[in-house]
Chains A and B, each alone.
Chain A
Amino acid sequence: MELNRLSAHELMGLLDKGDISHVDICNSIIDSIDKKDKSLNAIVNFDKGKVLERANAQKGLPVFIKDNICVKDELTTCSSNILKGFRPPYNATVIEKLLNRNAILMGKTNMDEFAFGSSTETSCYGTTKNPWDLERIPGGSSGGSAACVAADEAIWALGSDTGGSVRQPAGLCGVVGLKPTYGRVSRYGLIAFASSLDQIGTLTKDTEDAAILLKIISGHDPMDSTSVDRPVPDYAKLIKKDIKGLKLGIPKEYFIEGMDKEVKQSVLDAIKKLESLGAACENISLPHTEYAVAVYYLVATAEASSNLARFDGVQYGLRSSQAKGVIDMHKKTRGEGFGDEAKRRIILGAFALSSGYYDAYYLRALKVRTLIKKDFEDAFKKYDAIITPTSPTPAFKIGEKTEDPLTMYLCDIFTISANLAGIPGVSMPCGFTKSNLPVGLQILGKAFDEETILRIAYNYEQGTEWSKRKPGI
């Protein structure tokens, strides 16, 4: 039996019965990585010896961590040259929570530099490939986490989602990607991209695993003022209830001109399926959707320009060897350490905050953000969840959009609003294109109602076969 191909809850069952050991699981994963990761490049920091040591000491499930989540004494670089060699002196809260459950930390997964991207092409470690087609991108920025779960190099993985960075790669790689409500999971130890949008999320093989992993990492953290003190429900149990009578909204703004026809058809089919499972689907409008991308790229870059200012060569990471004097050290270190997309976003964000432009850009963006949030609040007064495609297209070719940042930014057009509104969203496979590329279905829910969106996802998953398909790699 290839254990690496199983879901976490399946493995838990086998472990309980004593049929297999934790070391067996790790070995199976190690084999899979040995076989596939040379071509996938999903994993950026992986030490077999260490993993086996941990597997012998800790009786939990192996987990991969996106490279922007701090693991004590382990390389944590955000796939950026500027953090080369950085080993945090502390664990992120989610890591502590995983370790409390005896999880075996396997290593770090590739990502767009500082999570700036939708294709994992901006990583200093090179592009991660889509397991369904090695010439295509896996989505991003959590492309490494999505690809390694899709390719069975992992049981499950953590990612982070600032504008779709968990859901979009999940959609393009055919796995389940969950972005929890802002405040549901502690951000302590997640290297910030945009503090008001970032949320750690899960990449799993099915919905039940998402529910299990979410419960493990959720909860109030006194170290994160934005984490919310609310009880954490037993998601895995609650999602198994049927969805009869649930009211689902289908926003017309999410079925746009120019979107891929196969994607559209798969999502429309999925909606029919949900109706057949007892849900009532209705067309709705989220009128401010068209502003989401613009608002996002002001708010997110503004915050990023500030969050990334600390990489100045003083305390950790890269320090340019060419510098003369302190200001020159800041300049050269940042010049050498950041990639083009990081520089582009820092400049854009700094501009949006600069005096004379603040009101016209940043402040106005905040106001429109409130309107977008209100769109959702109004919709959720009537509907239990909202159904949309995750992305307008399936995975595109490597290099196809790198020359045109704006086209790249539009990849997140359907995922960004959830971050602006702070609401939870999950992406799951809902079909395949003729060329065998996965299509993602996005389910958005009320704040702190992960239970309902996972319940819809679980019921849909039970009624379809999409989640069971595996890439050929």
Chain B
Amino acid sequence: MEQEEAGDMTYETVIGLEVHLQLKTKSKVFCGCSTNFGAEPNTQVCPVCLGFPGSLPVLNRDALQLAAKVAIALDCKIAPKIRFDRKNYFYPDLPKAYQISQFGHPLSHHGYLPIFIDGKEKRINITRVHLEEDTGKLFHEKDHSLIDFNRSGTPLLEIVSEPDMSSPDEAHAYLTALKSILEYIDVSDCSMEEGSLRCDANISIRKQGAKELGTKTEIKNMNSFKAVRAALQYEIDRQVDMLESGQRIVQETRLYDAAKDITESMRSKEEAHDYRYFPEPDLVPFDFEKKLLEEIKKQIPELPEPRKNRFIKDYKLSDYDAAIMVSEKGIADYFEECVKAYNKPKIIANWLMGDVSAYMKEQGLTINELGLKVEHLTGMLRMIDAATITGKVAKTLLNNIIKTGTSPEALVKEKGLEQISDTGEIEKAIDSVILENQKMVSDFKGGRDNAIMALMGKVMAKTKGKANPKKVNEILRRKLT
């Protein structure tokens, strides 16, 4: 290439993601130590995960099963023989100075994950999913560093995508869809904050229509899906600027700095790794029993994508509503339980997307942690239908139900929240509102029909939201005309 053309050349982006996922096993992948998060440093260790001389790894079958679950959920082909390799490199958090991983023959390969961009499905191909062990964790102090080996040997799944994503939004959608599936099959806590889900990105740009890939950079140190999107956007801008100013992209690893919202080059020496992979002689290759594989397949629940389609078909939800309902398994399960008890799916979905989800967000709780019983929510909805309470009262009532765990029926009785349909009481309230708001009354009479809404609001406030809105409207109109 001679010289980069300056100006309004358009570029396309090529992104591939590498996700590292800690699997939710009780014990580590090659020893019996606990995998609990947050224990005192170096209390969940043994000669094996400390890499002491003479110690040997023994594969935790639970880790393999969870790994296979992910592979199956991502529609990967499972390797007939399970083999491990050693990845050799020196680093103080790697006690054996090699990581047991899968290089030549990964657990699985050739899968895909559908994502939805602007309402259109796009398949992101999965190159491979393989099992390996996590490293310890370094803490850098002023003049020394400390190592916590509690994490060393935690089962880690590496999920590598093909470079099939062409925007930071697609990368974000991929991660969201992946996380959703992973939560559905219950294999990981998927917490980027606690480090149980980590993501590195490979990104390059090329001129629109070019066949050859551009030089890629690898971006690390992104601590949220948002950060992934931001880092990729920064990197695209940076790479475009480089090319536009006639510079070359250097193949390197860059770290994202969230505070500054930039990526910075890591020392390029780290790049010169030759991992000298070779088959791990301490673990004998073995066949993945077909029977076990069948059993694992049975454990996989209906995944978000087919479930969404079913929600649209069976419950007549809109595409948008269905997508939200299935995005978390807990919500989807809860939704279906509610529908069983109260057959108005759209209303349930509205409440779940509205007040319930707002409450969850505010408290930082999942639907299950919220403790809102299905019969309480649906009971409340039925009370609205029966005009026992108003929709307005229901909003406050919901908070009370969640806080106290008491049934809506009991709370309504206890707090006297029943809807007022008694005409006499409503008339009394209306009369005093008319007296207090002469300006609005004359506005209405002067032809501003809207003013009646304001007056209604005053009446509802006076009755603490309990007045039957239909009746209030009727009586107000009657009295004012």
Contacts and interface: CB of A to CB of B under 8 A. Distances in A.
Interface of A: 69-70, 76, 78, 83, 86, 88-90, 92, 187-192, 194-196, 222-226, 302-303, 305-306, 309-312, 314-316, 326-327, 330, 350, 353-355, 358, 362
B282 A314 contact: no
28 contacts: A70-B53, A70-B54, A88-B54, A89-B52, A90-B55, A194-B281, A195-B281, A196-B281, A223-B56, A223-B58, A225-B282, A225-B283, A226-B281, A226-B284, A306-B86, A306-B88, A306-B98, A306-B276, A306-B278, A309-B90, A309-B96, A310-B97, A312-B90, A314-B92, A330-B90, A350-B276, A354-B274, A355-B276
Contacts of A355: 274, 276
B312 to A, nearest CB: 49
Contacts of B97: 306, 309-310, 312
Given A306-B276, A309-B96, A315-B95, A188 B57 contact: no
Contacts of B281: 194-196, 226, 303
B53 A88 contact: yes
Contact of B58 (A90, A225, A305, A315): A225
B282 A195 contact: yes
A165 B95 CA distance: 28
B32 to A, nearest CB: 10
The 10 A-B residue pairs whose C-beta atoms are closest, nearest first, are A309-B97, A353-B276, A195-B281, A196-B281, A191-B53, A189-B54, A70-B54, A191-B54, A310-B96, A355-B274
A353 B273 CA distance: 13
B103 to A, nearest CB: 11
Given A89-B47, A195-B282, A226-B282, A188 B56 contact: yes
Nearest to A198: B281
Interface residues of B, number: 29
A92 B55 CA distance: 8
Interface centre among A78, A190, A314, A353 (most CB of B within 10 A): A314
A312 B277 CA distance: 19
B286 to A, nearest CB: 9
Interface in B85-108: 86, 88, 90, 92, 95-98
Interface string B141-176: 000010100000000000000000000000000000
Interface of B: 47, 50-59, 86, 88, 90, 92, 95-98, 145, 147, 274, 276-278, 281-284
Mostly, the A contact residues are loop
Contacts of A309: 88, 90, 96-98
Contacts of A194: 281
Contacts of A224: 56, 58
Nearest to A330: B90
Contacts of A88: 47, 52-54
Contacts of B147: 314
B276 A315 contact: no
B276 to A, nearest CB: 4
A302 B85 CA distance: 13
B276 A354 contact: yes
A314 B95 contact: yes
Contact of A192 (B54, B88, B277, B283): B54
A33 B90 CA distance: 42
A319 B171 CA distance: 45
A118 to B, nearest CB: 22
Contacts of A362: 278
A188 B184 CA distance: 39
A344 to B, nearest CB: 17
Nearest to A90: B47
A353 B53 contact: no
Given A195-B281, A314-B147, A225 B92 contact: no
A362 B279 CA distance: 11
A83 B53 contact: yes
Nearest to A188: B56
Contacts of B278: 302-303, 306, 353, 358, 362
Contacts of B283: 225-226
Contacts of B56: 187-188, 223-226
Nearest to A299: B281
Interface centre among A69, A92, A190, A306 (most CB of B within 10 A): A306
A76 B47 CA distance: 14
B304 to A, nearest CB: 37
Contacts of A326: 92, 145
Contacts of B145: 326
Given A306-B278, A310-B95, A314-B147, A90 B88 contact: no
A435 to B, nearest CB: 39
Contacts of B58: 222-225
B88 A353 contact: yes
Given A188-B54, A225-B284, 15 more contacts: A89-B47, A191-B54, A192-B282, A196-B281, A223-B58, A225-B57, A226-B283, A306-B88, A306-B98, A306-B276, A312-B92, A314-B92, A354-B274, A358-B278, A362-B278
